[in-house]
Structure 1
Amino acid sequence: MTGQTTPEQIEKTTKCGVQAWAAQGIVGRGVLLDYWSYAKESYDVNSRHPISAKDLKACAMAQGTQFEYGDILIIRTGWIDTYNKMTQDERVKLTEVPAYSHTFVGVDQHPDVADFLHDNYFSVVASDSPAFEVWPQNKEWNHHVNLLPKWGVPIGELWDLERLAEVCQQRKQYAFFFASTPNNIKAANSHSLPTYENIPPVDGMPHGCAWGLWDKDDKADQVGTLNLLTPSNTLEARKEIQTGVSVSLNWPLERIEDPGHNRTKIKHRFLDLKPALVGHDDEICINTQTSSQWDGLRHWAHQDSGKYYNGLTHDEISGERPNLRNGIQEWSKRGGVVGRGVLLDYVAWAEKRGIEYSAASKHCISHLDLETIAEEEGLKLRVGDILMVRTGWIKWYNESTSDERVAGCKANHNYVGVEGTAESIKWLWDHHFSALVGDNMAFEAWPAEGPYSEHDLYPPMPHLFSDDQLGIHDNVLALWGTPLGELWDLEELADQCKKHGRWSFFVTSCPLNVAGGVASPPNALAIF
């Protein structure tokens, strides 16, 4: 952190962000020190093998490499080469080693190496190992402390140098032209998603439309922010499993007495198999919006344009020539929804502050409320988290009379939820959640302006929202492709979070594998 930027300032400033690199890129002469070949692959890359200043100089001499002012130094340690040759079981074993026990090859943490790096005036240093320097770090001396905060030298890690080494060996030349364009993200640390302000524009759509962000090989993406749930994200999330206690997050399918919005109640029919045999089948007919659910990416369009996530049209879903794009089956293809869940318990937080409200009213939870709750729970929100907000709606429903429930669900259409403002939208995107979940009807406070009439259940969005408000459904589902969970039962989860003293946990959800599905019960569990 050059210029005396403190750790506390990192979260509040764009100073030292990689957007400064993106303005001009990193362009210059690169030099490869192929130490892996020079040492004839004679060491274990997953051991604390130190590469000394003497080793680096000898390697450069053997290659005939002479350094120039501002060179981009790249060191091949063999870590990537070894990893590529490992079996899957061997790779899994690496991930099972506790973080504090990790060991791998790297440059020696010694003043002689620091002098070598400094005296050659490298502009950037990089390697194919996980940390550039030998690991674990030396508490008294390590290069991250010198290179990044003191000298302002960027460090590249886990670079794939295999093809580069092959070409350098063939040409017997280890210097080359180098160009790199870092992502233009203000105050970015390591992930590559744009802030809300920097989401690239999409023709004909409002700012904040993230279509195309995850497209690959000219194929339109169909799962949106679920792309954040990578295998490495899952491996990190499994660290949340410490006690083995599991909690179902699924409200009973038949719980709501009158769903409202012209939606039908569950129909459950038992089929007696006698006299052929003694047994039963059953048939279950549900509207996927009447209990715990995932809103999929065919559920809600951007109301002004009439387009669903990534440009899907209404006719492509229910017209004369429908297709299966954005269907819930795509979530199953990618292995469901698995990652770290975090609970922001607004109910408990409001009770501590004497905030009284009815869950059957349009009580708004602001982004500042959510930020404060996370801080007080001791939560550090991460990229890819599955955010859950306990609003108290299910608690209200469970404790209400039948008449109160019908009034709240059918006649009223006013629900507690996250406030639909520009600030809330920006806050949700900039935290890069993979999915959003609430225990209420719509996740967001509903409706944004006035109750619905009996014959106009879903009026156009411009009439629903005042000038300073935005529809969370419009942004989250249609513009971002972020799954939206509603009516999840978070009561037992809140109790377990309190008992465990932490509000993060492992989440697994397996939606129905229905081709073209619009929504699905979540079939979700939280595991502590």
Structure 2
Amino acid sequence: MTNVSDLTEILADAPKNWGKWGPDDEIGSLNYLTKDEVLRGVRSVVSGEVHTLQRLIGDPKGDPVFPGREPAQREMILDESTWDGEDAPQFPGGLHYADDKLLAFLQGSTQYDALGHVWYDGQLWNGYDARTTIGGMEKASVEPIGDRGVVGRGVLLDMARHFGVDSIESRRTFGRDDLLECAESQGVTIEKHDILVIRTNHLQRFFDEGDAFYEDFCEPGLAYSPELVEWFHDTEIPNLVTDTIANEVTTDPNTGASLILHNALMRNLGVVFTEICDLEKLAAACAADNRWDFLYTAAPIKIHRATGSPVNPVVIR
């Protein structure tokens, strides 16, 4: 690996969409998803088949999370045993009920990143001061994304099938040309304003390997290049959706920097990221009838000043 390069240097000439939708914008490239784009997505619906993309929270086999985060912990507060004691709550008519709570990282499951989630050089998306993150996101939180919702034409690029593997191994990277070759092999065209959905099935290795999955952790995925970023910019991609924890190769093999595309795409272009999706049933359906586009819909939970939020995207074919 080369010496680690600084993001300021790597992205010195990278394009930005700052100010494109005004000085107060907090949803970035989702602005591309106009009413016409919603209707274009609707035209991809053929059979009415529905797929949800959220991974189960509290999976008995474990919850994959980024190193440093902990899986969600669900705690039962009330159940039938509550009424075994004399001090149990009483309700007219004899009602009993169950209640529980969840302690979780907001980005510890299938989720949307807020546009202000990552930054460098002291500035977030749209040029907001990074100090607006202190104590909570004053700018570019996940709330405006949840308030707006995400609806448009989605296209699945099944990179695992394209590479001829069940699941893509750690550290393997791919770029713009790989995406276009995959689309061509599937017989689908990526159009302006498409929501890009990428399957690696890499997280199957988490369920197969257990704790060993985190040894020398580096997920596969898209790797930074100026050509890839320019393509996202020119194609005006509003939303990148993947089945990995971080949507891109964790550590760039060429520069040694971490999560460059989070900054090149999210911070600079306002591309919204969706991570840890379960794409297996959707991918099987698309492969079965060779239809790779669909209506993609999602709305993360609206949480004030939050850096991200759980979501259960719904795809309609």
Q: TM-score, normalised by structure 1?
A: 0.52
Q: Pick from 445, 459, 464: which aligns with 2:257?
A: 464
With over 3 angstroms needed to count, the CA separation of the structure-2 counterparts of 1:417 and 1:505, relative to structure 1, is: same
> For 1:415 and 1:332, how far apart are their aligned partners in 2?
27
Q: Pick from 305, 311, 316: which aligns with 1:516?
A: 305
Match of 2:162 in 1: 349
Residue 427 of structure 1: how far off its partner (Å): 2.1
1:112-511 to 2 correspondences below 5 Å: 206-215=13-22, 219-255=23-59, 256-257=62-63, 259-272=65-78, 274=83, 275-276=89-90, 277-301=95-119, 303=120, 305-318=121-134, 324-334=138-148, 336-351=149-164, 359-398=168-207, 400=208, 404-409=209-214, 411-449=215-253, 464=257, 471-511=260-300
The residue type paired with residue 366 of structure 1 is G
Residue 323 of structure 1: how far off its partner (Å): 5.6
| More off after superposition, 423-432 vs 471-480 | 423-432
Structure 2, unmatched stretches of 5+, are 1-10, 84-88
> For 1:258 and 1:238, how far apart are their aligned partners in 2?
32
Residue 290 of structure 1: how far off its partner (Å): 2.2
Superposed CA offset, 1:184-228 (max 9, x none):
xxxxxxxxxxxxxxxxxxxx974312100111xxx4211000001
Residue 257 of structure 1: how far off its partner (Å): 4.7
3-state SS, counterpart of residue 235 of structure 1: helix
3-state SS, counterpart of residue 388 of structure 1: strand
Residue 516 of structure 1: how far off its partner (Å): 1.3
Residue 406 of structure 1: how far off its partner (Å): 1.5
Structure 1, unmatched stretches of 5+, are 1-203, 451-461
For the 8 Å contact 1:357–1:363, the answer to whether it is kept is no
> For 1:505 and 1:514, how far apart are their aligned partners in 2?
28
For the 8 Å contact 1:257–1:406, the answer to whether it is kept is no
Superposed CA offset, 1:253-297 (max 9, x none):
224456352212101112217533301122112112222111111
> For 1:343 and 1:359, how far apart are their aligned partners in 2?
16
For the 8 Å contact 1:228–1:383, the answer to whether it is kept is no
Superposed CA offset, 1:148-206 (max 9, x none):
xxxxxxxxxxxxxxxxxxxxxxxxxxxxxxxxxxxxxxxxxxxxxxxxxxxxxxxx974
The residue type paired with residue 385 of structure 1 is D
Residue identity (%):
27
Superposed CA offset, 1:105-145 (max 9, x none):
xxxxxxxxxxxxxxxxxxxxxxxxxxxxxxxxxxxxxxxxx
> For 2:15 and 2:311, how far apart are their aligned partners in 1?
27
Residue 463 of structure 1: how far off its partner (Å): 5.4
Superposed CA offset, 1:299-354 (max 9, x none):
111x2x121101222221115xx6632111111332x1111110000111111xxx
> For 1:417 and 1:396, how far apart are their aligned partners in 2?
14
With over 3 angstroms needed to count, the CA separation of the structure-2 counterparts of 1:257 and 1:239, relative to structure 1, is: closer
> For 1:222 and 1:264, how far apart are their aligned partners in 2?
28
